[in-house]
Amino acid sequence: MLFNSLAFLIFLVVALFLHWIVFSKTAKWQNLFLLAASFGFYSFWDWRFLFLLLFSISFVFLIGIRIDKTESEKARRVWMIFGVFTSIGILFFFKYYNFFLSSFLDFAESFGLKLEVRLWKIILPIAISFYTFHGISYLLDIYHKKIKSTSSWLNYALFVSYFPLLVAGPIERATHLLPQLKDKRRLKASDVSEGISLILWGFFKKVAVADSLGSVVNLVFENTGNYSSVGLVLAAVMFAVQIYADFSGYTDIARGVSRLFGIELLLNFNFPFFSRSITEFWSRWHISLSSFLNDYVFLPLALFFRNRGKWGIYFSIFLTFLISGFWHGAGWNYVFWGVLHGLFYLPYFLGKGKKLKSIYGNKIKGGSWIGNLLSRLSVFGLVVCAMIFFRSETIQAGFTYFGNIFFNSKWLALNEFIKTGTHAVILIKGILASLIVLSMEYLLFRSNSRVENLLNSKLKILGVLLLLFVLGSFENSIEFIYFQF
Amino acid sequence: MTIEKLTPIFRDVFENEEIDINLETKASDIEEWDSINHIYLIVEIEKIFKIKFTTLQIQKWENVNDIITDIDKLVNAI
């Protein structure tokens, strides 16, 4: 059941009615209903994996209590490792077993070794990457004594499988979500108006920007040889805008839907394309994942290697991005995307001192406008370069894309997009919608109070509805990109 | 252990002489206090006070006060 489907709209309206009218007596009833609705929502995708989700929830819930109740530091550590590694093991089996096995077989074959091993038909359970990370963060927070384990299976199960965040995040923290489930929620006018405007803004990003650009981007990435250098660069930039609009649009819808139930979800995007450094970019892009990786992967690694000097820290960063690449998908192109982001940090450590003061270091506060513009453009450029590999199906396809940019017989052929017929109209709509989104967000980023006031009013709801009607390309509905992870 | 002893370390690590900290200061209050500089800060504090924090201690820090409490604990234990 996609967020951008009629089925979801009906599901949402019925769920809101039942939550606020029928099951509104106590927090327990509200949570029980939301959990049942979430399991129902998940069953729409694939009911068979509901059992795996239930097992994962119950397993982590019990291990959490065990860690909390154990006195000895050694035993706590053993329980934590058991819980985390079992969760990772399940994720590994479903998501990576075939990937690693077939990569190994290919590798062996390149040395003339033909091994007879049968690959299993393993279907990737939807949302497994997200709910596994919820469980891991819960166990590690208990182990680090940041939180106490909850005694309510119901609340824990809802924290993991709450339907607005179940399929593609934001990856919540127990410290943020569990307290919101304790008390009975009351319907507030601010939640309703902000929820609706978030949903509409998210829809606009998804339908008018992501889906419009997506249909053109797909065309270019499938026939890279047919386009000029400039056309390929434009398509790569369009993909970066598409994935941002797709994923941040999805997150806006998820956060908006959740607000309608009186629950606030974590911010996932904070104007990433206006970052002046790669470190800043990662504090603004997919924040719930990058803060997860920072707290549970980078920090423990960097602390372990902290006496190895700056290269110990760099190694930790590189490994963190490598894991981020793997998390995104079982494909070497995602791993390479992670490697590239790891490499983007290298100049930061090659500097003479502890830190680099290059154009994409993080010490450029209050620079000149031209300096800031150059920093922003260079960060955006690096992000787009890495995105080419994220979008290409293989690493080789990514390099071919770059090859076609640099060694192309035609560097500019403006009619190449127009030749595609109906796509030309969609492209114009998409570019127009992108400019509206990016300029609106830039004004908000610069905290322009006039824009903020405008966007907080009912005018925003009306305006976005109108824009959706004019610029939406509903005929090209594409699934949210992050649903596959 | 007082905040005055910690301030120069913060200024040195974050390369900003204008930084002022108090017991409630959190990482989000200082622009330069990102995750990489956090590690440099820990290494510098450990070097100057000749102590070694445990991962569990570091993971629980929420503000400057938590850091000072752990420094005191470790310094007094020597």
DSSP letters, A158-191, are: HHHH-HHHHTT-----HHHHHHHHHSPP---HHH
Is residue A328 annotated as part of the catalytic site, yes or no?
Answer: yes
Q: Which long-range contacts (CB under 8 A, 24 or more apart) does A13-21 make?
A: A15/A261, A16/A260, A16/A261, A19/A261, A20/A187
- Contact: A354, B40; criterion CB under 8 Å: yes
User: Is A308 an interface residue toward B (CB < 8 Å)?
Assistant: no
The whole-angstrom distance between B75's CA and the closest CA on chain A is 20
Q: Tell which of A157, A182, A207 closes a domain.
A: A182
User: Is there a single domain that holds both residue A264 and residue A397?
Assistant: yes
> Which structure tokens are listed for A143?
């182990």
Measured CA to CA, the distance from residue A485 to residue A382 in angstroms comes to: 23
Which chain B residues contact residue A347 at CB under 8 A?
none
Residue A418: the pLDDT is 60
User: Is there a single domain that holds both residue A15 and residue A72?
Assistant: yes
> Which structure tokens are listed for A266?
């974590």
Q: Which residue has the tokens 């620079």?
A: A367
Of the candidates B31, B55, B60, which has its C-beta nearest A365's C-beta?
B31
Measured CA to CA, the distance from residue A70 to residue B72 in angstroms comes to: 27
User: A122 — phi, psi (to 5°)?
Assistant: -110, 125
The whole-angstrom distance between B45's CA and the closest CA on chain A is 12
User: Is there a single domain that holds both residue A286 and residue A262?
Assistant: no
Catalytic residue among A19, A134, A328, A423: A328
Which of A185, A197, A206, A189 lies closest to A256 in space, CA to CA? A197
Which chain A residues contact residue B15 at CB under 8 A?
355, 363
- Contact: B43, A283; criterion CB under 8 Å: no
Residue B20 in this model has a pLDDT that exceeds 80: yes
Convert the pLDDT of each residue in A196-207 to its tens digit: 988 988 988 888
Which of B40, B10, B35 lies closest to B25 in space, CA to CA? B10
Mean pLDDT of B26-42: 89
User: Is there a single domain that holds both residue A264 and residue A329?
Assistant: no
Residue A372 lies in a domain: no
Q: How many domains does chain A have?
A: 3
Convert the pLDDT of each residue in A174-221 to its tens digit: 999 999 999 999 999 889 988 998 898 898 888 888 888 888 888 888
Q: Is A385 exposed, middle or buried (0-12, 13-18, 19+ CB in 10 A)?
A: middle
Looking at per-residue pLDDT, the higher value among A58 and A360 belongs to A58
Say if CB A180 and CB A199 are below 8 A apart: no
User: Is A145 an interface residue toward B (CB < 8 Å)?
Assistant: yes
- Contact: A355, B15; criterion CB under 8 Å: yes
Residue A1 lies in a domain: no
ipTM of the complex: 0.89
Return the C-alpha torsion angle A127, A129, A131, A135, nearest 10: 170
Which of A278, A282, A242, A271 lies closest to A442 in space, CA to CA? A271
User: Is there a single domain that holds both residue A269 and residue A300?
Assistant: no
User: Is there a single domain that holds both residue A255 and residue A392?
Assistant: yes
User: Is there a single domain that holds both residue A149 and residue A225?
Assistant: no
Return the C-alpha torsion angle A290, A292, A295, A299, nearest 10: -60
Looking at per-residue pLDDT, the higher value among A465 and A441 belongs to A441
Domain boundaries of chain B, sorted by first residue = 3-77
Give Cα A48 distance to the centre of its chain. Answer: 25
User: Is there a single domain that holds both residue A313 and residue A392?
Assistant: no
User: Is there a single domain that holds both residue A52 and residue A89?
Assistant: yes
From the CB of residue A25, how many other CB atoms can be counted at a distance below 10 Å?
Answer: 9
Residue B5: the pLDDT is 87
User: Is there a single domain that holds both residue A399 and residue A263?
Assistant: yes
The model's confidence at residue A367, banded by pLDDT at 50, 70 and 90, is low
* Domain that residue A399 falls in: 189-273+388-484
Which of A60, A12, A20, A61 lies closest to A37 in space, CA to CA? A12
Measured CA to CA, the distance from residue A404 to residue A406 in angstroms comes to: 6
Convert the pLDDT of each residue in A305-352 to its tens digit: 998 888 899 999 999 999 999 888 778 899 999 999 999 988 878 865
CATH for B3-77, options being 1.10.1200.10, 3.40.50.720, 3.40.50.80, 3.90.226.10:
1.10.1200.10
Q: Which residue has the tokens 């339908």?
A: A207
- Contact: A279, B60; criterion CB under 8 Å: no
> What is the CB-side half-sphere exposure of residue B61 using CA atoms within 13 A?
26
Which of B16, B36, B42, B47 to substitute to test the interface with A, most A CBs within 10 Å?
B36
Say if CB A80 and CB A140 are below 8 A apart: yes
Residue A377 lies in a domain: no
User: Is there a single domain that holds both residue A162 and residue A99?
Assistant: yes
User: Is there a single domain that holds both residue A63 and residue A126?
Assistant: yes
User: Is A279 an interface residue toward B (CB < 8 Å)?
Assistant: yes
Which chain B residues contact residue A363 at CB under 8 A?
15, 32
Q: Which residue has the tokens 């629980």?
A: B60
